[in-house]
Structure 1
Amino acid sequence: MSKRIEVNNLDVYYDKFKAVEDVSMIIEPRSVTAFIGPSGCGKSTFLRTLNRMHEVIPKAWVDGEVLLDGNNLYGPGVDPVLVRSQVGMVFQRPNPFPTMSIRENVLAGITLKNKRISKSEADGIVEKSLRGANLWEEVKDRLDLPGSGLSGGQQQRLCIARAIAVQPDVLLMDEPCSALDPISTLAIEDLIDELKQDYTIVIVTHNMQQAGRVSDKTAFFNIAGTGKPGKLIEYDATKTIFENPSEQATEDYVSGRFG
């Protein structure tokens, strides 16, 4: 598990509108990379191109390359569904399937792939995934109860368990703590630190302190104005971005002068 992502000259479009322009970057395996920048600068849009979720929106498309260990995710004949099993996504708001139990939520991705597994194998996946999301001890006695009955922080960890159950190589997280209280946020941040031992993790966050705490590298995105495409301004070690950025716009943003 855990793979290197290489993005080359990527432009992202909604029909004829260019939302993100000419992004190139390398994301190393077993690391946490944070995307920061003001609202509307394209960071979440760009994140969604890394597992082809962007294409779910009608008339959305990309030009350029996204390579996962050298394999172009946008190459001819590549199945987007397969890409999404390799590159998992955790969304801004916890979204367990409301009609499913905790156990069924964890197994949802496996069920979706029509993969036949024994009960003992399923039990093993459920326990391993929930342990991986630091949730097992809290829910092991109520696996058959609805996932929607958990607290917000627990629901988000359930969504992480669901994402890792299908054994992806990469985990994308789009503001995973924005709807959570400070204690739940800390639990998710601790979990991210543990998960990077096995996964390549990319997180979008508006929380500067969070980016500083959880990430190894940080990418700052910005936009020149309404109707202009978002651009990658600077990408470096997180410590460098926050303490000694090379671009004035980066310094202005991380110091709170704008954004």
Structure 2
Amino acid sequence: MSKRIDVRNLNVYYGDFLAVEDVTMTIEPCSVTALIGPSGCGKSTFLRTLNRMHEVIPGARVTGAALMDGQNLYGPGVDPVQVRRQIGMVFQRPNPFPTMSIADNVLAGVKLNNRRLGREESQDLVERSLRGANLWNEVKDRLDRPGSSLSGGQQQRLCIARAIAVKPDVVLMDEPCSALDPISTLAIEDLIYELKNDYTIVIVTHNMQQAARVSDKTGFFNIAGTGKPGKLIEYAATDKIFSNPANEQTERYVSGKFG
């Protein structure tokens, strides 16, 4: 299922404002890519371009190309809804549907895609997805309880189960642990490490220790000042970024000298 993404000279605009400038990078399949950098430097904006989620904001547009296994996600006739089926998204704060049961939360994306499932197939998909999110053993006896009854860390894993239930090729995560305690954060990090066996994963994080722990490659974004576009300053193997970066801006950021 895992796919490679090639980003070439990607620019992101909101109306006339250039928010992210000229990003070129290759995201390898079955790997974790972390995006780090100060607030407002375009990390999350760039992440959302990979499944065309930024387009929900009026006036947002992209130039350049993002290719998944050679197909331009922004090519003529490409349906953004289909792109979002292939490239799932997990947001900063857990967002289970509060009136839905745990099981129905897992199935929500599948049903939104107008896929009809029989009872047995639904049960199998719920179990498989919750096992994939390392949540099954904790909730298997209360699948009819509301998703909102779970703890914060469990809710985030439920959202990951919902994302992988539609069988995407890529999973994007926008600061998935920022609202979680250290124990829940560790559970998500362990899960990310396991998921990369089957998915291409891109994660935005402000936690540099987390980036160092979970990712294979890291991209450092920075911004020259208010009103300037965010830029990808350096992209390399994670151990190189954190031990021997090529760019002085990267070195200053990862060593804590930034700002």
1:116 aligns with 2:116: yes
1:12 and 2:44 are equivalent in the alignment = no
Deviation at 1:81, TM superposition (A): 0.6
Q: Which whole-Å CA distance do the structure 2 matches of 1:82 and 1:9 have between them?
A: 23
1:89 shift after superposition: 0.3
Which residue does 1:60 correspond to in 2?
Answer: 60
Find the counterpart in structure 1 of residue 26 from structure 2.
Answer: 26
Distance 1:75 1:26 in 2: 18
Match of 1:198 in 2: 198
Structure 2's unaligned 5+ residue stretches are none
Q: Cα offset for 1:113?
A: 1.1
1:147 maps to amino acid: G
Give yes or no for the alignment of 1:189 onto 2:183.
Answer: no
Q: Amino acid of the residue matched to residue 86 of structure 1?
A: Q
2:93 alignment counterpart? 93
| Structure 1 residues 129-144: aligned runs within 5 Å | 129-144=129-144
Cα RMSD over matched residues?
Answer: 0.5
Deviation at 1:192, TM superposition (A): 0.2
Report the alpha carbon displacement of residue 95 of structure 1 after superposing the two structures with TM: 0.2
Which secondary structure does the structure 2 equivalent of 1:111 belong to?
helix
Letter in 1 for 2:101: S
2 CA distance for matches of 1:35 and 1:136? Answer: 29
**What's the CA shift for 1:116?**
1.1
Structure 1: 5+ residue stretches without partners: none
- Cα deviation, 1:185-230, whole Å, max 9, x if unaligned, reads 0000000000000000000000010000000000000000000000
TM-score (normalised: structure 2): 0.99
Deviation, structure 1 residue 25: 0.4
User: Aligned partners of 2:76 and 2:145: how far apart in 1?
Assistant: 43
Q: In 1, distance between residues paired with 2:95 and 2:69?
A: 30
Aligned to 1:165: 165
Superposed CA offset, 1:19-56 (max 9, x none): 00000000000000000000000000000000000101
SS in 2 for 1:88: strand
Residue type at the aligned position of 1:149 = S
Match of 1:125 in 2: 125
- Equivalent residue of 1:58, what SS? coil
Tell me by how many angstroms 1:63 deviates.
0.4
In structure 2, the partner of 1:232 is 232
Q: Could you tell me how far apart the structure 1 residues matched to 2:110 and 2:213 are?
A: 33
State the number of aligned residues: 259
TM-score (norm 1): 0.99
List structure 1 runs of 4+ shifted beyond 4 angstroms: none
Question: Amino acid of the residue matched to residue 244 of structure 1?
Answer: N
